[in-house]
Chains A and B, each alone.
Chain A
Amino acid sequence: MGTERSIQMIALRLRSLFRRRQVDQELDEEIREHLDHLTNNYIAKGLAPREAREAALREFGGVVQAKENCRDARKVNWLQNLVQDVRFGVRMLRKSPGVTAVVVIALALGVGANTSIFSIVDGFLLRPLPVPSPEQITVLAIQQKDAPIGSSGFSYPEFLDYRRQADTFSGVFGLVLSSVQLTSNDLSDRCFVNYVSGNFFSALGVKPALGRLILPSEGETPDEPPVVILDYSYWQRRFNGDPGVVGRRILVDDKSATIIGVAPQRFHGMFSIFEMDIYLPMSAMSLEEPAIAFWNNRDRRRILAFGRLKPGVSLREAQSSLDVVTARLASQYPATDKWFTVRALPEKSARPIAYANNSFVVISGLFLVLAAFVLLLACLNVENILLARGSARQREMGIRAALGAGRVRLICQMLAESVLLAVLGGAAGIAIGVLANRWTNAIHLKDIPLQLDSTLDWRVLIFAAATVLFAGIVVGLLPAIRASSADVNIVLHTGPPRSPGGIHRPGIRNFLIVAQVAGSLVLLVAAGLFVRSLQKVQGFDLGFEPDHVLNVTMDPHGIGYDEARTKGFYRDIETRVRALPGVQSAGLASYVPMGGFPSKAAVSIEGRPTVAGEQPPRVLFNCVDPAYLETMHVSLLRGRNFTDSDDEAAPLVVIINQTMADRFWPHEDAIGKRFSMEGTAGPFVEVIGVTSDGKYQTIGEDAQPFFYVPLAQNFVSKRTLHVRTLVPPESIAATVKDEIARQARGLPIVNIETMKQLLQGAFGVFAFRLAATLAAVLGTIGLILAVVGVYGVVSFAASLRTREIGIRMALGADARDILNLVWLQGVRLVLWGIAIGMAAAWALARAMRHLVAGISTSDPVTYCTVAILLSVVVLLACWIPAQRATRVDPMVALRYE
Chain B
Amino acid sequence: MSKPADLVQGTLDLLLLKILALEPMNGYAISQRLKQVSQDVLQVSDGSLYPALHKLEQEGWITAEWKATENNRRAKFYSLTRMGRKHLEKEAGNWARLSAAISRVVKLNEV
Contact = CB atoms under 8 A, between A and B. Distances in A.
Q: Do A and B bind each other?
A: yes
Interface of A: 1, 5-6, 8-9, 12-13, 26-27, 29-31, 33-34, 37-38, 59-63, 65-67, 69-70, 72-75
A34 B58 contact: no
B47 A5 contact: no
Interface string B20-32: 0000001110010
Interface string B54-77: 110111100100100000011110
B46 A5 contact: no
Contacts of B52: 73
Interface in B42-100: 45-48, 50-52, 54-55, 57-60, 63, 66, 73-76, 81-83
A30 B83 contact: no
B58 A61 contact: no
Given A1-B82, A9-B60, A70-B51, A60 B75 contact: no
B28 A37 contact: yes
A445 to B, nearest CB: 65
B28 A12 contact: no
Nearest to A13: B58
A60 B47 contact: yes
Counting from the closest, the 7 A-B pairs by CB-CB distance are A61-B47, A69-B51, A61-B45, A66-B47, A73-B55, A5-B60, A60-B46
B77 to A, nearest CB: 10
7 contacts: A9-B60, A30-B75, A33-B76, A38-B46, A60-B46, A60-B47, A67-B50
A72 B51 CA distance: 8
Contact of A63 (B31, B47, B63, B75): B47
Most buried by B among A9, A66, A67: A66
Contact of B75 (A6, A9, A27, A33): A33
Contacts of A12: 57-58, 60
Nearest to B27: A34
Contact of A30 (B45, B48, B50, B82): B50
Contacts, number: 76
A12 B45 CA distance: 26
Given A12-B58, A66-B46, A33 B73 contact: yes
Contacts of A72: 51
Contacts of B27: 30-31, 33-34
B61 to A, nearest CB: 9
Contacts of A70: 50-51, 54
Contacts of B26: 30, 33
A721 B46 CA distance: 103
Contacts of A59: 46
A13 B57 CA distance: 10
Nearest to B60: A5
Given A1-B83, A61-B45, A66-B46, A8 B51 contact: no
Contacts of B74: 29
Most buried by A among B31, B58, B63: B58
A1 B81 CA distance: 11
Nearest to A61: B47
A66 B50 contact: yes
A344 to B, nearest CB: 58
A65 B50 CA distance: 11
Contact of B47 (A1, A9, A38, A62): A62
Contacts of B66: 26
B51 A9 contact: no
A33 B55 CA distance: 20
A764 to B, nearest CB: 72
Most buried by A among B28, B48, B73: B28
B74 to A, nearest CB: 8
Sorting the interface of chain B by its residue count into under 10, 10 to 19, 20 to 34 or 35 or more gives 20 to 34
B58 A8 contact: no
A54 to B, nearest CB: 15
Contact of A26 (B59, B76, B82, B83): B76
Contacts of B45: 60-61
A75 B26 CA distance: 22
Most buried by B among A59, A67, A70: A70
A73 B47 CA distance: 13
A247 B57 CA distance: 72
A74 B73 contact: no
A61 B50 CA distance: 11
A172 B82 CA distance: 64
Contacts of B28: 33-34, 37-38
A70 B45 CA distance: 14
A275 B87 CA distance: 67
Nearest to A75: B58
Contacts of A9: 58-60
A73 B58 CA distance: 8
Given A31-B50, A75-B58, A8 B76 contact: no
Nearest to A59: B46
Most buried by A among B28, B48, B50, B59: B50
A65 B45 CA distance: 12
Given A13-B58, A70-B50, A73-B51, 12 more contacts: A5-B60, A8-B81, A12-B60, A30-B75, A31-B27, A33-B28, A34-B46, A66-B46, A66-B51, A73-B52, A73-B55, A74-B58
A61 B4 CA distance: 15
A65 B47 contact: yes
Contacts of B73: 33
A1 B61 CA distance: 12
B51 A30 contact: no
A42 to B, nearest CB: 14
B46 A61 contact: yes
Contacts of A69: 47-48, 50-51
Interface in B11-37: 26-28, 31
A73 B54 contact: yes
A133 B67 CA distance: 60
A718 B57 CA distance: 87
B35 to A, nearest CB: 11
Contacts of B82: 1
Contacts of A65: 47
Contacts of B81: 5, 8
A1 B84 CA distance: 11
Most buried by A among B46, B66, B74: B46
A690 B57 CA distance: 97
Given A61-B47, A66-B46, A70-B50, A30 B63 contact: no
B54 A74 contact: yes
Contacts of A1: 82-83
A8 B46 contact: no
Nearest to A33: B75
Contacts of A62: 47
A666 to B, nearest CB: 90
A271 B60 CA distance: 59
Contacts of B57: 12
Contacts of B31: 34
Nearest to A64: B47
Contacts of B50: 27, 30-31, 34, 66-67, 69-70
B60 A8 contact: yes
A30 B46 contact: no
Contacts of B75: 30, 33
A55 to B, nearest CB: 13
A31 B27 CA distance: 8
A37 B83 CA distance: 31
A67 B46 CA distance: 11
A61 to B, nearest CB: 3
A640 B93 CA distance: 112
A314 B54 CA distance: 59
A451 B40 CA distance: 85
Contacts of B46: 34, 38, 59-61, 66
